[in-house]
Structure formats: C-alpha cells, structure tokens
C-alpha cells in the first residue's frame, strides 16, 4: 500500500477518490488545507502528494518534499502553472490529468455567456422578489455574432462546436493552429478587433500572462463580452475593471481570477472582501463570477479520480508515465 497526502480536500473530492482508492492499492490522508510551504510538513511520511489548481508548489515546497523523500506530485487537474517546473526538474516527478471533460468547461462557458447576455442572473433575482419588470434586461441574438476563440485545444474546440450550434461566426487565434482544420484562424490583433465576444482557452504561461491587457482591450469593439474559464492571469484585472467602468467592455464572465488562490473555494460570506478589484467586479450587473467551478461535473470528477490514481499507480509500479509534465 502506498500512502498519499491529499491537499485542498473538498467533500466532493473524497466521494470520488474513496470509491477508487482500494482498486489502486492506495491509502489517502486527506488534508483540508492548501499545499503551501507552511503546511507541506503534513506530507511527511507519505509516498506522494496530490494537489490542485490553487496549491502553491514553489521551490520551498519542493525542497521539503525532497527532504521527506517524496518523489512525485500528482496534480488532480490539467493546468500546472502553479508548479515551479524548472525547480522540480530532477527532484520530483509531476503528473497531471491532461483532459477530464472538455464538455464540463465549455458548457459552463456557454452558461456564463447566456446568463450575461440574457441577464438571467438578474432576472432570477427580480422574479424571486415579484419584480416582473424587463427594464435593463435587453440582450442580443448570438446568431450571426462573431466570437473569437483564443486557444483551440480540447476545450476551445468543444466550445467552438457549441457555438456552431448557435450559428455564430467563429474566428480563432492559437500559437499552434491546427493544420488543415476548418477553423478560421486570424492573428491576435485581428481577433481583438473583429470579435463581439472573446473567449479564452489557452494555458497561462509567461507568454500569455496578461494577454488581455489595456492595449488589447483598446483594440476591441465597444461593448465586447469577455469570457475566461481558463486562468485568471491571462487577464490584467485592473485593465478589465477600467474597461468595464468606462463601458468599453460590455460584460465579463469569469470562472477564474488572477488573485483567486486565497479566495476561491472558501466561504467569506461573513467577512469583508479585502480584494477591492474582485469586490468591484462582483458589484457590477454585467459581471458574472463563478469560483473556478467550470470543471465541476460528475463525469469530470470520476475521470479526475481515475486518472490521478492511475498516474500514481504507474509511477509506483515503474510503468510508463504517460501523463508526466515536462518542463
Ligand atoms: P489544451 O492544451 O488542449 O489547449 C490549449 C491550447 O492553447 C492549445 O491549442 C495551444 O496550442 C494553445 N496555446 C498555447 N499557448 C498559446 C498562446 N501563447 N497563445 C494562444 N494559444 C496558445 O488545453 P485545454 O484542455 O483545452 O484547456 C485549456 C485551459 O483551460 C487550460 O490551460 C486550463 O488553464 C483551463 N482549464 C480550466 C478549468 C476550469 O475549471 N475553469 C478546467 C480545466 C482547464
């Protein structure tokens, strides 16, 4: 039996991992806290750690894992921008779940777009108070509108399929366009200039950090909608806020936020929100924030548990590590 320290545990994680752990000969110690340099000591005595998107896997955490003789980190997610891969090289192996359900994220993304455009969140609150006025709830037909997709990987392409169903005009930008595909690729500036809606589906890397900054926003159409279910750091939040205040940006649907690490997944409803940018964004009627939940479907959780445990099983048994992250 191998022993695994599982950080940042939520009740829904336990449901799906507990169902499968015996099959993979693994004992799991669940920790509620995030993995940081301050509580990495919880992992002492384990053979591996399992971490998630908002854990911090920096040089200090990696040094501690090496000290505890832990040779593997299994990310139970696709993204790994929170891991210092350069530093991890040769010290710990990093595994991930490259794909679990592109449908979960793409469908949530369309949910954000429909809610923002047709003001469903506002309509819901109104009718609950028997306010049946329609003032301020005017939307537009998605049919025929131009949507710019940044990143045509698994999720971007799944979202393109959904947009096709709405008969939207789809353009895309990707650093590595798919050869011979029927996707109409344009360059980044053209995408900014021509899109009524811009949807982000590329990873957060040093190249894509603040891809949507003041310059990019200035190029966009007046009233543009911006959707981000990818990573918060892709958007300069201050520039986004400015664009919303001066009404350059018509609406923003955000499942991620660049400073979400200490905020998302926790209940702050009894406290004063200290992040002023997030508080201001949430106060706006044309901003819809969800708490990094786009992945959260049953199908995705089953797949995450299966692939994470299989990754660890393969590592422990010397099998091929098909989901190893290379720096
Ligand atoms: P993927 O790896 O299949 O596709 C990413 C695409 O982005 C690729 O086509 C790649 O060529 C492109 N790309 C890379 N660098 C680029 C750049 N500098 N400019 C433009 N395009 C670039 O990834 P997948 O599965 O489609 O996921 C996309 C992102 O969604 C992930 O990186 C992750 O951050 C995010 N995600 C969010 C979730 C959520 O719950 N909100 C859940 C899962 C993923």
- Whether 166 and 85 share a structural domain: no
Residue 326 has pLDDT above 90, yes or no: no
Mutate to test the pocket of ligand 1, among 12, 80, 110, 151 (most ligand atoms within 8 A of CB): 151
As a whole number of angstroms, the distance between CA 312 and CA 325 comes to: 13
What is the rounded average pLDDT for all residues in the chain? Answer: 97
The residue-averaged pLDDT of 38-43 equals: 98
| DSSP letter assigned to residue 83 | B
Residue 260 annotated among the catalytic residues of the structure: yes
Instruction: Assess whether 306 carries a catalytic annotation.
Output: no
> Is residue 245 pLDDT above 80, yes or no?
yes
* pLDDT of amino acid 72: 98
CA of 155 to the centre of ligand 1 (A): 7
Is there an atom of ligand 1 within 6 Å of 231 CB? yes
The answer on 239 and 138 residing in a single domain is yes
Residue 210 is predicted with a pLDDT of 98
For residues 256 and 151, state if they share a domain. Answer: yes
User: DSSP 3-state assignment of 147?
Assistant: strand
| Counted domains in the chain | 2
* 237 part of a folded domain: yes
Say whether both 148 and 266 belong to one domain. yes
Is-catalytic flag, 118? no
**pLDDT higher than 80, residue 116:** yes
Is the per-residue pLDDT at 191 higher than 90?
yes
Position 175 scores a pLDDT of 97
Residue 166 scores a pLDDT above 90: yes
Domain that includes residue 115, residue range? 102-289
pLDDT band, residue 327 (cuts 50/70/90): confident
82 lies in some domain: yes
pLDDT range class, residue 57, cuts 50, 70, 90: very high
Gap between the Cα atoms of 155 and 78, Å rounded: 11
**CATH code of the domain covering residue 230:** 3.40.50.720
* Percent of the chain residues topping a pLDDT of 90: 99
**What separation in Å is there between the alpha carbon of 211 and the centre of ligand 1?**
13
Check residue 57 and report its DSSP letter: B
């Amino acid at each position: 039996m191998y022993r695994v320290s599982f950080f940042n545990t939520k009740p829904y994680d336990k449901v799906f991992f507990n169902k499968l752990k015996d099959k993979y000969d693994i004992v799991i110690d669940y920790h509620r806290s995030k993995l940081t340099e301050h509580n990495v000591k919880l992992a002492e005595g384990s053979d591996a750690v399992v971490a998630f998107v908002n854990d911090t896997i920096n040089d200090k955490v990696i040094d501690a894992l090496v000290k505890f003789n832990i040779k593997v980190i299994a990310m139970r997610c696709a993204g790994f921008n929170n891991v210092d891969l350069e530093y991890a090289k040769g010290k710990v192996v990093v595994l991930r779940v490259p794909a679990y359900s592109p449908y979960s994220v793409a469908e949530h993304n369309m949910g954000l777009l429909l809610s923002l455009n047709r003001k469903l969140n506002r309509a819901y609150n109104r009718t609950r108070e028997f306010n049946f006025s329609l003032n301020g709830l005017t939307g537009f037909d998605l049919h025929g509108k131009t949507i710019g997709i940044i990143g045509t990987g698994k999720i971007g392409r799944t979202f393109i399929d959904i947009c096709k169903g709405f008969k939207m005009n789809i353009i895309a930008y990707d650093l590595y366009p798919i050869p011979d595909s029927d996707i109409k690729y344009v360059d980044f500036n053209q995408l900014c200039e021509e899109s009524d809606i811009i949807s982000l589906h590329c990873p957060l890397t040093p190249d894509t950090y603040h891809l949507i900054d003041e310059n990019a926003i200035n190029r966009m159409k007046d009233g543009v909608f911006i959707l981000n279910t990818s990573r918060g750091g892709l958007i300069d939040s201050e520039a986004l806020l400015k664009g919303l205040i001066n009404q350059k940006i018509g609406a923003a649907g955000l499942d991620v936020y660049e400073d979400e690490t200490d905020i998302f997944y926790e209940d702050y409803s009894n406290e004063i929100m200290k992040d002023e940018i997030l508080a201001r964004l949430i106060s706006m009627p044309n901003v819809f924030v969800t708490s990094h939940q786009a992945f959260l479907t049953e199908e995705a959780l089953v797949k995450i548990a299966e692939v994470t445990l299989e990754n660890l099983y393969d590592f422990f048994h010397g099998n091929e590590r098909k989901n190893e992250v290379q720096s």
